[in-house]
Amino acid sequence: MPFARSLPAALVLAAATLPLHALPFCALTAARADIPPPPPANVADGTQPGDELPPAAAQGLVAPGELDGSWRVVLDDGRDMPLVTLDIAHAAGEARAAGVFTALPGLCPAPADGACDWDGATGEITDVVLIDGGVTISFNPGAEIGDEQNLRLTPAADGTWRGTLVGKPPRRVVMVRPPE
């Protein structure tokens, strides 16, 4: 095929080499004049179109709440045995939040036995409710309704949340940010 210097010329040359029965399936159209070209790059700061949030979207951003982010729940007995990790999405000023959990071996009713279906279980947190200066977080690592676990925590001065895991068995726990 001869060399073409432009895309339209290349399309014409390609169409010329097609068999006649294929031509009805080829549609060549000119550029539409009613569609404006993309805006130029922002010369002042070098950003490309689309790199910036539209003003309406920027105004809709919500500050994260105190529970927003990743957490690790461990036994509050000095051994810091990890029970579960939580990833919570919480907006500032909201009384409810959502998230996901991953059960760790320590969450099992008898972690020393080693046999537990909960180890590694993941799922959505059933409920996260901030009430009366504390938080209740509910999740179910098992297949049975009775497997539901409930964290009842209050904030501590050091940025952690301390309280009780009401489950099988009930335990004193602390919720901390994971190490970076």
Distance of CA 157 to the CA centre of its chain: 28
Q: Please check whether residue 141 is in contact with residue 126, taking contact to mean a CB–CB distance below 8 angstroms.
A: no
Check: pTM over 0.75? Answer yes or no. Answer: no
DSSP designation for 4 = -
Vertex 99 angle, CA 118 and 66, to 5°: 125
Contact 83/104 with Cβ under 8 angstroms?
A: yes
Which residue has better confidence, 72 or 17?
72
Residue count of the chain, please give it: 180
Would the pLDDT of 146 be above 80?
Answer: yes
- 178 prior amide bond cis, ω within 30: no
**Helical H runs in 26-161?**
55-59
Per-residue pLDDT of 86-124, as tens digits, reads 999 999 999 999 999 999 988 887 666 667 788 899 999
The rounded percent of the chain whose pLDDT value lies above 70 is 63
What is the fold, at CATH topology level, of the domain defined by 69-176? Answer: Lipocalin (2.40.128)
Please tell me the distance from the alpha carbon of residue 154 to that of residue 130, in angstroms, as a whole number: 10
Query: Is 32 a residue whose pLDDT tops 90?
Result: no
Query: Domain limits of the chain?
Result: 7-59, 69-176
CA distances from 157 to 98, 103, 131, 136, 137 (A): 24, 27, 18, 18, 20
In this prediction, residue 125 carries a pLDDT of 97
Mean pLDDT of the chain: 79
